[in-house]
Amino acid sequence: MASINYRNLIQQYQDKSNLHMLHWSGTFEEYLEIVKKNPKVSRNSFQRMYDMIVEAGTEDYIDFKKPVVRYRFFDDQANNGKDAVFGLDVPIMKLVNVLKAAALGYGTEKRVILLHGPVGSAKSTICRMLKKGLEAYSRSDAGALYTFEWVDEKGELGGLLGKDVKTFTSPMHEEPLLLFPEEMRAQVCEEINRGQEGEYRVKIEGELSPPSRYIFRQLMDRYNGELMKVLSHVRVRRLFLSEADRIGIGTFQPKDEKNQDSTELTGDINYRKIAEYGSDSDPRAFNFDGEFNVANRGMIEFVEVLKLDVAFLYDLLGASQEHRVKPKKFAQTHIDEVIIGHTNEPEYRRLQDNEFMEALRDRTVKIDIPYITRWKDECRIYKKDFNSQKMRGISIAPHTIEMAAMWAVMTRLEKPKKANLSRIQKMKLYDGRTLPNYTEDNVKELRKEATHEGLEGISPRYIQDKLSNAIVNAQQNNKGSVNPFMVINELESGLKSHSLISNEELKTEYRELLGVVKQEYEEIIKAEVQRAISADESALQRLCANYIDNIKAYTQKEKVKNPFTGSDEEPDERLMRSIEEKMEVPESRKEDVRREIMNYIGALAVEGKKFNYKMNERLHKAIELKLFEDQKDSIKLTSLVSSVVDKDTQEKIDIVKTRLIKDFGYDEISAIDVLHYVASIFARGDIKNKQ
């Protein structure tokens, strides 16, 4: 067996990663040259996060007459879409607008960003993507940032940095420009900004952390105020943000109230070092490792932020409004970080009802992250996890995921106030489908009149769990394929023990919606089988040509020549009406429809174009349905139910099955299942035209 040439692998990794360039370090003076060439290295946390999102690319589009910006950052292309967020373009646009205002210093940088929504609505995913993005951005040229450390290579500082310590890293990874005293910052900024192109201008805000401030002050005393000598003990280095290493990214999750301690946010005394430094008020004897401290220069995520003890909220208020935290026994310490929390609906209602939380409400920017209410976006969530690449020896029948997603979306929609509009029709309108008498303005009104849409209903996690159950059961029972009925049964049985739904009326309503989904699925597969049976292109064209010849003769008051006898005959009213009835054209409107079609054909002819039945969707479906009805008796699909199929019929059925596989995405098992099920419907005489 050949051995692994790990040395080559390491060399390739180093060459590809350009690690020697990333691990730059230099003097304070060299850093100033970097800032002069690229002032953006000194951006604050809000500016860096906003630029990170925008630089990933944007896409503008109109959604029901409203302009929307889609930010490609949330497609998670770097990880092949593993954490991609679907269908939340508008909430994300609101989030990015808050970050933009904060980056420009308009006030939202002094607020806690609160992502509010039901469980499973992607709040944590959005935070996770921002954290992962910051990590990657800090390693790129565009997102480069720097910090500093104090050095005593010659051991001349008499243990100022600690016993036998030659390098003291800034515990809060501060911006090196903070080393400039307050009095000279304006002059320094003016010098750096002079002649700069672009909108960004360097601005130095904040103070050094207590340890760095202490060392700086001691060195100023040692060198009699000679700043150049003080800065000679500073080494600037490239900073990489990392949640795992607790550098620039913090996460705080509330625990049991009895075990909560505010030092988790602001740090605590290092008792081992008190003996070394002689006092517990010496900043070098303090661990600045609270979540607020480690998140400096990046972001901190508060998981279920409203579950925090009141004592923690005081720290949160100061951190957001003043950008300062108060470590025990030390002065308020400056922080530069984006504070993002998330919470669910019950916790937020509790916040609204608690008058003691008024200060927090006043310092919060709430952004609703609802469930998806667009059908196709909900489907994308499940297709990401349940696809042919991840299935082992099992296939998922067409429409299985779509039907599960349809039910999930309908549970989140409020009942339409219009009596003639069903919930499934409302769902289709939201998905961009068209319905008679409904315009984009009508859909906008539907959305406006809904006050709580997307904030309640079935979570995507529930759908994912039940899809998984159906797949595992199919594998255990050697079914080979999972179809919508298997998943619907799982969804329905799971409602009995659903931990988040205790209301029996709501469970009954959700079961009724599953019935609606079943009906919709039946209509879909009947239509597909009908189209597979009537998929003879030449027969469709002949039938359409026959219809056009007859309505042409009818509108022009002419006769039609019989191709067999050669004699002139009256237009075939029976044929015309059989097709028009499938277009839902009443007797009173038949002349108008016939004239409309002929006018359209005439207009195409003027442009040098030829009419094709596929140009008119209603006519297309009507001709397919007419041809299906003409052919279904000859195919005798219902004989499948009795299991007595003659050779001629079997050949025709095999042709239909092949068309289902080739044109509609079925495999052998699911195609046979669908044919048997549709055959049973036909056997019951339950044939309804597709609405």
Cα–Cα separations (whole angstroms), residue 388 to 385, 463, 478, 667: 10, 18, 17, 12
Taking only Cα atoms into account, the Rg of the chain, rounded to an integer number of angstroms, comes to 34
Across 334-344, average pLDDT: 93
Which distant-in-sequence residues (6+ apart) come within 8 Å of 382 by Cβ?
Answer: 401, 404, 405, 460, 463, 464, 467
Q: Tell me how far apart the alpha carbons of residues 470 and 491 are, in angstroms, rounded to a whole number.
A: 9
Tally: H helices and E strands in the chain? 29, 19
Taking the chain, what is the end-to-end CA distance rounded to the nearest angstrom?
65
What was the pLDDT predicted at 219? 95
Burial of 319 (0-12, 13-18, 19+ CB in 10 A): buried
653-682 pLDDT, tens digit each? 788 888 899 988 898 888 888 888 887 777
The confidence score (pLDDT) of residue 239 equals: 95
Find the range with the poorest average confidence among 212-221, 223-232, 640-649: 640-649
Q: Whose structure tokens read 């409107």?
A: 589
Read off the pLDDT of residues 23-55 as tens digits, 9 standing for 90 and up. Answer: 899 999 999 999 999 999 999 999 999 999 999
Question: Cα dist. 95→99, 369, 455 in Å?
Answer: 6, 10, 17
Write down the pLDDT at residue 646.
Answer: 66
Tokens of 380: 């994308």
Helix axes 89-103, 45-55, angle to 10 degrees: 140
pLDDT, tens digit (0-9, with 9 covering 90-100), for 401-416: 999 999 999 999 999 8
Residue 587 DSSP label: G
**Which one, of 94, 68, 71, lies nearest residue 84 by Cα?**
71
Q: Cβ–Cβ contacts within 10 Å for residue 44, how many?
A: 20
DSSP string computed for 7-19: HHHHHHHHHHHTH
**Cα angle 341-342-343, degrees, rounded to a multiple of 5:** 135
The answer to whether the CB of 267 falls within 8 A of the CB of 327 is yes
Query: Which two structure tokens, joined as six digits, stand for 623?
Result: 């001709």
The pair of structure tokens assigned to 282 is: 């010496």
The residue among 454, 463, 431, 461 whose CA lies nearest residue 370 is 454
pLDDT at 282: 87
Domain locations in the chain?
A: 375-509, 534-633
**Contact status, residue 263 vs residue 328, Cβ threshold 8 Å:** yes
- Could you give the C-alpha distances from 480 to 339, 382, 667, in angstroms and in order? 49, 19, 10
Q: What is the mean pLDDT of the chain?
A: 87
Distance CA 674, CA 666 (A): 9
Q: Rounded to whole angstroms, how far apart are CA atoms 220 and 233?
A: 11
| Contact partners, residue 383, CB within 8 Å, separation at least 6 | 401
Q: What are phi and psi of 295, to 5 degrees?
A: -80, 0
d(CA 264, CA 581): 73
The 10 Å Cβ neighbour count of residue 441 is 10
> Which of the residue ranges 128-132, 291-295, 478-482 would you say has the lowest mean pLDDT?
478-482
Q: Which residue has the higher pLDDT, 260 or 141?
A: 141
pLDDT surpassing 70 at residue 689: no
| Alpha carbons 605 and 316: distance in angstroms, whole number | 71
What length is written for the chain?
691
- Read off the pLDDT of residues 300-320 as tens digits, 9 standing for 90 and up: 999 888 877 777 777 888 899
Cα–Cα distances in angstroms (integers) from residue 680 to residues 57, 145, 676, in the given order = 52, 68, 6
Residue 342 forms beta bridges with which residues? 115
Confidence of residue 256 (pLDDT cuts 50, 70, 90): low
**How far are the Cα atoms of 215, 385, 487 from residue 471, in angstroms, in the given order?**
63, 12, 9
Q: What letter would DSSP give residue 122?
A: S
pLDDT tens-place string over residues 166-191: 999 999 999 999 999 999 999 999 99
| pLDDT attached to residue 391 | 67
Specify the residue for token string 């310490």. Answer: 333
Question: Per-residue pLDDT averaged across 371-393, rounded?
Answer: 85
Task: Characterize the bridge pairing of strands 286-287 and 268-269.
Answer: antiparallel
Q: Look at strands 146-151 and 234-238 and give their pairing.
A: antiparallel
Q: Quick one: average pLDDT of 450-465?
A: 91
In the numeric block, which tokens belong to residue 159?
């243990």
Q: Which two tokens stand for residue 463?
A: 């759908």
Q: Which of 310, 335, 328 is nearest to 260 (CA)?
A: 310
Closest CA to 87 of 414, 369, 463, 467: 369
Distance from the Cα of residue 70 to its chain's centroid:
11
User: Helical H runs in 139-237?
Assistant: 182-193, 210-222, 227-231
pLDDT confidence tier of residue 690, bands split at 50, 70 and 90: very low
> At 59, phi and psi to the nearest 5?
-145, 125
- In this prediction, residues 349-376 reach a mean pLDDT of 84
Between 517 and 683, name the one with better pLDDT: 517
C-beta of residue 188 within 8 angstroms of C-beta of residue 205: no
Confidence of residue 417 (pLDDT cuts 50, 70, 90): confident
pLDDT score, position 348 = 81
More confident residue, 358 or 150: 150
**What is the per-residue pLDDT across 592-619, written as a single tens digit (0 to 9) for each?**
999 998 998 888 888 888 888 778 888 8
Question: Is residue 1 very low, low, confident or very high in pLDDT (cuts 50, 70, 90)?
Answer: very low
Instruction: Read off the pLDDT band of 19 (50, 70, 90).
Output: low
Residue 95 to residue 50: CA distance in whole angstroms = 10
> Judging by DSSP bridges, how do beta strands 338-343 and 112-116 pair with one another?
parallel
What residues pair up with 237 in beta bridges, in sequence order? Answer: 25, 147
Distance, in Å, from the CA atom of 462 to the CA atom of 471, rounded to the nearest integer, reads 14
pLDDT of residue 6: 62
How far is Cα 618 from Cα 597, in angstroms, rounded to an integer? 11
**In a 3-state reduction of DSSP, which class is residue 644?**
coil
**DSSP code per residue over 88-113:** -HHHHHHHHHHHHHHHTTSSGGGSEE
